[in-house]
Amino acid sequence: MKNATLIATPALLLAFAATAVQAQDATAVDADGDGQYTYEEVIAVYPDVTEETYMTMDANGDGTVDAEEWATAEADGMLPSEEDAG
C-alpha cells in the first residue's frame, strides 16, 4: 500500500500541474475574460488555427468556444503546441 501511495502521489501532482497549465493557456486566450473564446481571440494567440478548425472546436455551434469545448480541442490535438503559439 505504501508503494502504491508513493507512485500515485507524483502522478496526481503531474495531472494537477497539467490542468493548471491548460487553464492558464486558455485564460491567456480569453482577452475579454468572459469565459468564451472567439475566433479572433484564438488566432491572436494561435495564428495557425484555421476557421474550419475553430468551427470544429465550437461543438455546439454557438459561435464561441467555451471551457469544455476548449478542453476537448486540446485533448483532441486541435490546438498547436505551445512552441507554435504566437
C-alpha cell at 5: 501511495
* Rama region for 50: left / alpha / beta (φ>0; ψ in -120 to 50; rest): beta
Q: What is the pLDDT of residue 50?
A: 96
CATH of the domain at 71: 1.10.238.10
Q: What's the chain's length in residues?
A: 86
Total structural domains in the chain?
1
Give 7-36 as a DSSP string.
Answer: HHHHHHHHHHHHHHHHHHHHHHH-TT-SS-
Verdict on whether the full-model pTM lies above 0.75: no
Q: Which domain holds residue 17?
A: 2-84
Q: Determine the 3-state secondary structure of 58 from DSSP.
A: coil
pLDDT in tens, the chain (86 residues): 565 555 555 543 333 333 333 445 778 899 999 999 999 999 999 999 999 999 999 999 999 999 999 999 999 999 876 555 55
9 alpha-carbon distance from chain centroid: 24
Q: What is the pLDDT of residue 67?
A: 94
